[in-house]
Amino acid sequence: MDDFFADLNEKQREAAMAPDGPLLIVAGAGSGKTKTLTARLIFLITKRRVPPERILAITFTNKAADEMKRRVADALARAGMAGADPFVSTFHAFGAWVLRREAGMFGRTNGFTIFDADDVARVIKHILKNRGIDPKKMSSAQTGRLFGKIKNEFLSFGAPLGTSDDALTWELFSDYERYLEINNGFDFDDLIYKVVLAWHQDPAVAARYQSRFSHVLIDEYQDTNPAQHALCALVARTHGNITAVGDDAQAIYGFRFSDFRNFLNFEKTWSGARIILLEQNYRSTQNIVAAASGVIARNQFQKKKTLWTGNNEGAPVRVVEHADEFDQAEYIVETALLRARAGARVGILYRTNAQSRALEQMLLEKNIPYALFGALTFYERKEVKDILAALRVAANPNDQISGERLDKTFPKKITRPLREALAACTPDTAPADLIKLFLKSTQYMDVLKKEFPNYADRYENITELIYFAEQFSSLSEFLEKVTLASPLDGAPRKTQEEKSAAHIHLMTIHLAKGLEFDDVQVAGVSEGLMPHQRSLLRADDLEEERRLMYVAMTRARQTLSLHFYQIPSRFLYELPPERVVFEGDAARTVPGRTRDLDDEERYIEYD
């Protein structure tokens, strides 16, 4: 076990073995954040002898939680402590676990349904229609965004929302909350909001969880929103043994109501907090680290750190100009193919999903295999949602939204006996058996074959769902797992294997956070795309765009290329010139000539 800690560098070891009390680990990109947080968890169990069940470790994604569980289990097995399991969970899975125990406080049973984004949109449309509100004047998307603001920012009822009619919005919110209660449901945001609300309303309830967990560890703390911040503060209030790890330079989720000031103000929230900086980057070359550091240094609001690496200097960062997005796509695809053929894992990153169109078109034309992240996820596919609707009705007969989906998909002669069969199932009925009951009762495979040319692919998806369901004996546990799945979790088996085997990966920069690639090609580093035009009016938004640029650059291990057309991004001017080589469009057509970023000709349009 001591070998495990010997593998840490000095600062990682200091963080892992820090004394009790509030601790903030400021972990620069590629500095071994997960390794350090895992080491601290293992240290608490093996050296401090903290009972594993009294440790709560919270992450943002299932992938991160599963990775931490695996590392901890391996380390504890080597220490002769196999089976000692700390509570490692995502924020929302932890919230669901609490609400299964406290659902009665909100008029629900512990068999409640967790409504996903599609369900919420349908509920809001019902509410707007019942109120006679023109959807053109107040859309379900706008209303849902306001409800998300209320819950994620933990706003008091009646607080200003900045709309033209706040009073009406709060009335709609009340309608929405009543609808959820009638349907024995919570939405995704409730898994944090309602927990914090319960703990505020009844300190005795909060005390049960405060006494259960003596140590709390939080991953990616810079991404917490006010409600998540409140949850962390409440559960660790009595003992103050909270360890938060993250990097304010990678705070890029403001659009999800995340507030990186929670990270910057950690010492104000927790007096006497210890701060430890992890500044050694193990991922990237010197040129990549220096180039990314040069960009992020321009931000005013941050915890200053000096990122460095012992890796080799590597190739300069390439800045490549193109005539248009199609020229850019062709060049990126050809370059990515060369890298992939050489054995490199390539990440093609972009600011918005719309930018993938030209890239995908070029990959398809050249018949190059690739993996696309952020498209329709496995659990959003029609055949999967139809099956899950039936399972949700079996688990929660009050779920009108899922019932309506069944009614719209099948005629009454099918839904009536299906509902009767579902109602006859016991709580012990296995999820896989319920899926087979649904398929048989509805003759669903025949329905798919009649309606869809790609029915064979849909058959495969159903087979995958059954395979995954067979790993669960509890219906509520299965439904919770699939509802809380993130875009990066992918399908239960097949899609993940296909994506892992691919050499070229396409995704937005937001989805790339936490990942790394041998070669990174960043598309569209143009003014108006990155930074996005919507961010140009507020200094805070512009700083978040710069953090987004930093995240994109620090995904690269060996080589990094930044591509633009039309007006170059202001961030390209912030790159240290000694770390960059510029390859202008003119340099590829006129030998010996290279335009710099300030060339006035690029701002002139010719007829």
Is residue 219 within 8 A of residue 90, CB to CB? The reply is no
- The verdict on whether 341 is a catalytic residue reads no
CA distances, 301 to each of 139, 223, 539 (Å)? 35, 15, 10
User: In angstroms, rounded to a whole number, what is the distance separating the alpha carbons of residues 586 and 536?
Assistant: 29
- Give, rounded to a whole angstrom, the gap between the first and last alpha carbons of the chain: 71
Residue where the block lists tokens 């990942």: 515
19 in Cβ contact with 239 (< 8 Å): no
CA 382 to chain centre: 23
Q: Where are the alpha helices (DSSP H) in 342-474?
A: 356-365, 382-395, 400-409, 412-423, 431-442, 444-451, 455-469
Catalytic entry in 13, 14, 34, 429: 34
Determine the Cα–Cα distance for residues 30 and 278; give it in Å rounded to an integer: 9
Pairing type for strands 580-583 and 556-565 reads unpaired
Residues β-bridged to residue 583: 320
Nearest alpha carbon to residue 564 among 522, 525, 529: 525
- Length of the chain equals 607
Any bridge partners for residue 467, and if so which? none
- Three-state DSSP at 537 gives coil
Rounded CA separation 1/78 (Å):
7
Identity of the amino acid at 23: L
Dist CA 346 CA 556 (whole Å): 9
**DSSP assignment letter at 309:** E
Is residue 30 a contact partner of residue 286, using CB atoms and an 8 Å limit? no
The answer to whether 601 is a known catalytic residue is no
In 10 A of CB 363, how many CB atoms? 22
Instruction: Name the 3-class secondary structure at 113.
Output: strand
User: Which is the catalytic residue, given 102, 116, 189, 219?
Assistant: 219
Report the run of H or E that residue 556 belongs to, with start and end: strand 556-565
Residue among 192, 252, 189 nearest 514 (CA): 252
Angle between helix 475-483 and helix 91-102 axes, rounded to 10 deg: 140
The catalytic position among 11, 33, 35, 345 is 33
SS (H, E, C) 387-417: HHHHHHHHHCCCCHHHHHHHHHHCCHHHHHH
Query: Which of 114, 87, 270 has the alpha carbon at shortest distance from 192?
Result: 114
Bridge partners of 582, per DSSP, are 319
CB-CB contact of 144 with 121 (8 Å): yes
Check if 250 is active-site.
Answer: yes
> Among residues 102, 116, 187, 220, which one is catalytic?
220
Token pair, residue 110, equals 């512990």
Q: Give yes or no: 219 in active site.
A: yes
Q: Which H or E element spans position 186?
A: strand 185-187
* CA-based R_g, the chain, Å: 26
Active site residue 555: yes
Contact 127, 176 (CB under 8 A): yes
Q: Which residues are catalytic?
A: 33-34, 219-220, 250, 555
